[in-house]
Amino acid sequence: MSGAIAVFPAPFMPTVLSDMWITGTSDHMPRARWTAPDDPQFNGGMDTICIIDGGPPTLHGRRSPTAFGPATLSGGSTTPSPFGALPTPMFEASGCRCHETARAGRQRIIDLAATTATVTDTARTALAASRGIDWEGNAALLFRDRLTSIRAALDAHDGDAAATVRIV
């Protein structure tokens, strides 16, 4: 299959085959970032990592669509080739979903810490409005105790939220 592919000029590459080659089963290669398949190298490399003409290393004579620009029939390349560079993996790290996921998670924590500060501010205002209540009895004593203890707890909530942000 790969040899047959190698002798076909790119324009005649069946779309289905090129899709199969490019996509595999991974979601690491969003369609938006696909480029047209490179021209196949004539008489491909001796092995999978052999550099033929200084161009980028290829796998079975095929070059990754996102690697180092289009190749020529002679195997040349319009961009400088990293001599000795490791083969390009099938799924590019810069396109990995982990970046977006981590970013979203980080932002979520930052937002939560901000809204926590807003909520605790509102609570402080409510506590302040209750300070002057004229009241006797066991429940009144508990009420006044809580005015103090909750104020301290609100400060701790703000600090803890900020500490959680620092984790990310």
The footprint of other proteins (CB under 8 A) covers 26-28, 91, 93-94, 96-99, 101-102, 104-106, 108-109, 112, 115-116, 119-120, 122-123, 125-127, 129-130, 133-140, 142-143, 146, 150, 153-154, 156-157, 160-161, 163-164, 167-168
Least Å distance, CB 168 to other proteins, is 6
Token pair, residue 121, equals: 């501010």
Least Å distance, CB 155 to other proteins, is 11
What span, in angstroms and rounded, lies between the C-alpha atoms of 81 and 56? 6
Count the Cβ atoms, other than its own, within 10 Å of residue 49. Answer: 12
What span, in angstroms and rounded, lies between the C-alpha atoms of 146 and 140? 10
By C-beta, is 2 or 106 nearer to other proteins? 106
What span, in angstroms and rounded, lies between the C-alpha atoms of 107 and 47? 46
Q: Residue holding tokens 């500490």?
A: 163
By C-beta, is 11 or 131 nearer to other proteins? 131
By C-beta, is 50 or 142 nearer to other proteins? 142
- 161 in Cβ contact with 116 (< 8 Å): yes
Least Å distance, CB 140 to other proteins, is 5
Those residues with Cβ within 8 angstroms of residue 35's Cβ, 6 or more apart along the chain or in another chain: 65, 66, 70
By C-beta, is 81 or 116 nearer to other proteins? 116
Least Å distance, CB 41 to other proteins, is 27
Taking each helix axis from N to C terminus, what angle separates 138-167 and 98-129, rounded to the nearest 10 degrees? Answer: 160
Least Å distance, CB 49 to other proteins, is 20
By C-beta, is 17 or 109 nearer to other proteins? 109
